Structure 1
């Protein structure tokens, strides 16, 4: 249960990071005086399945990157809060039943009774009662998978500390599979969501994408040098994801941030949200938490 509890907190931070977009404006280009049609805002969706029967859905609104100076937007908490959707009806329909998610805070909604039927279709419906924007999406619940081997390696010298991760994924299934490995470093004092948004700054994350093309005799083994800074804890999760979501993450990783989604720029990341942006994915992570002080 310790791992499950820690992962739920970690997943909260992932979605909160999506909401706050700490690096959102760092790569925004200088304004160009061009005549564009008025931006029509849409809902932006991010989702995460947590162990057992939990699902988190984060809801925000897109905006025009030409709306204001990027430097002022980055520090304008009032503007950032205006993007958060706090009065939405969020429902997930599956297996002939519909569950209404409970609003938490910061545009985050949680369902505590979303039973996980692997291979079954799940439908998301979101309607913001304030803006009257709404969107829908359909996805398939992915079965969880586990590491065959997972072990961190910490090399300490007088000048530096290096953290490597050794892992092996075994895949003997006939169908083609796609995997997401998420590596998150955090100080223990900052893994509690209700400590405030300032604690998010010390959460660092990197992702590794693996598919069957990298497998040799049904296995993929690697040593990854982590770019995470010094931290007390390392959270490693492995997720079996769909091919469309895999392709989405490939482009997301290249973009470096969510600007194209949230600002409505002409070049947008792919989405499975009808009348919105983001991605509705019901992938199911498993993972472990390592206290790096013990290695």
Structure 2
């Protein structure tokens, strides 16, 4: 998301230290001017599809890695607010019709009128009226998939409640398949971050990625230890996603959290956004809801 390369920044510092070292052997070293190219911001896109025709798009802007230290910027709410885009035209075109998404807040735009049709092509257009930035993308809706088995195992003690999610996936076909499991109301217990920032949760807490290369005899059996949040309602969704989106999420997990991705060392993430960053995906999730208190 940071278009100014971290390598360029380190190279600049390396040159400076080299010149300082050479200065030990020269009384009057010639001054060297180092010019770095100006940062050119681009739009950053994140999307989420929900059952029953809901689709959400979050729009923000990239910024220079020289804007400040990541640890400082991650807690600077004033600075973070400057990244979200609140005055954009966000449109999804499908099956010959165009839907304009409604702006909510914090850069989120939502529609509840976009059918989730298998093999349907969806095109995204985003135009920011303030900055003049514009980007576009296209994706295809993949066929929905279901868990062959999904069951939370609940164990209660005097001190706490432990939930282990057991699930089985069946390979849906001869083509390579990639799966995204999303959690709401709980986090993966073995991947809790050391430091939580505001209301942003680490990405690896809330998603599980599986591909059929790990299947045995056409099936994958997995289990995840979860820690419940304030609610005792656990929502688990399963989506069939494209390989590029799978690769994007894998690398995104390595950034640890949304805050680290915004303010930490840059990671070269794949993207399908033209003239922007992020990813536009129109996967079709199947959702199951569990009331843990009743189990």
Q: Kindly state the Cα deviation for residue 168 of structure 1 after the two structures are TM-superposed.
A: 1.1
Q: Kindly state the Cα deviation for residue 52 of structure 1 after the two structures are TM-superposed.
A: 2.1
Q: Kindly state the Cα deviation for residue 184 of structure 1 after the two structures are TM-superposed.
A: 2.7
User: Could you tell me how far apart the structure 2 residues matched to 1:78 and 1:40 are?
Assistant: 21
Matches within 5 A, 1:185-204: 185=185
**Between 225-234 and 139-148, the greater mean CA deviation after superposition:** 225-234
Query: Structure 2 stretches of 5 or more lacking a match?
Result: 1-5, 14-33, 188-196
Query: Could you say what secondary structure the match of 1:83 adopts?
Result: coil
How many residue pairs match? The answer is 257
- Please state if 1:237 is matched with 2:237: yes
Q: 1:203 to 1:254 in 2, by over 3 A?
A: closer
Task: Indicate the residue corresponding to 1:292 in structure 2.
Answer: 292
Q: 1:171 to 1:58 in 2, by over 3 A?
A: same
The answer to whether the 8 A contact 2:74-2:259 is kept is no
Q: Kindly state the Cα deviation for residue 222 of structure 1 after the two structures are TM-superposed.
A: 1.9
Task: Indicate the residue corresponding to 1:51 in structure 2.
Answer: 51
RMSD: 2.9
CA deviation vs aligned residue, 1:19-47 (integer Å, no higher than 9, x gap): xxxxxxxxx9xx97746422211101001
Query: Structure 1 stretches of 5 or more lacking a match?
Result: 1-27, 188-196
Task: Indicate the residue corresponding to 1:84 in structure 2.
Answer: 84
The answer to whether the 8 A contact 1:205-1:228 is kept is no
User: Could you tell me how far apart the structure 2 residues matched to 1:127 and 1:99 are?
Assistant: 14
Task: Indicate the residue corresponding to 2:133 in structure 1.
Answer: 133
Q: What's the TM-score, normalizing by structure 1?
A: 0.77
Query: Could you say what secondary structure the match of 2:55 adopts?
Result: strand
User: Could you tell me how far apart the structure 1 residues matched to 2:132 and 2:145 are?
Assistant: 39
Q: 1:213 to 1:107 in 2, by over 3 A?
A: same
User: Could you tell me how far apart the structure 1 residues matched to 2:135 and 2:115 are?
Assistant: 22
**Between 218-227 and 82-91, the greater mean CA deviation after superposition:** 218-227
Task: Indicate the residue corresponding to 2:145 in structure 1.
Answer: 145
Q: Kindly state the Cα deviation for residue 260 of structure 1 after the two structures are TM-superposed.
A: 7.5
Matches within 5 A, 1:8-19: none
CA deviation vs aligned residue, 1:247-290 (integer Å, no higher than 9, x gap): 11111112213467645965421111111111000011112222
Q: What's the TM-score, normalizing by structure 2?
A: 0.77
Task: Indicate the residue corresponding to 1:169 in structure 2.
Answer: 169
Q: 1:40 to 1:58 in 2, by over 3 A?
A: same
Q: Kindly state the Cα deviation for residue 86 of structure 1 after the two structures are TM-superposed.
A: 0.8
Q: 1:264 to 1:93 in 2, by over 3 A?
A: farther
The answer to whether the 8 A contact 1:186-1:204 is kept is no
The structure with more radius of gyration: 2
Query: Could you say what secondary structure the match of 2:249 adopts?
Result: helix
CA deviation vs aligned residue, 1:212-255 (integer Å, no higher than 9, x gap): 11222322222222255675222211111011111111111122
Q: Kindly state the Cα deviation for residue 199 of structure 1 after the two structures are TM-superposed.
A: 6.2
Task: Indicate the residue corresponding to 1:108 in structure 2.
Answer: 108
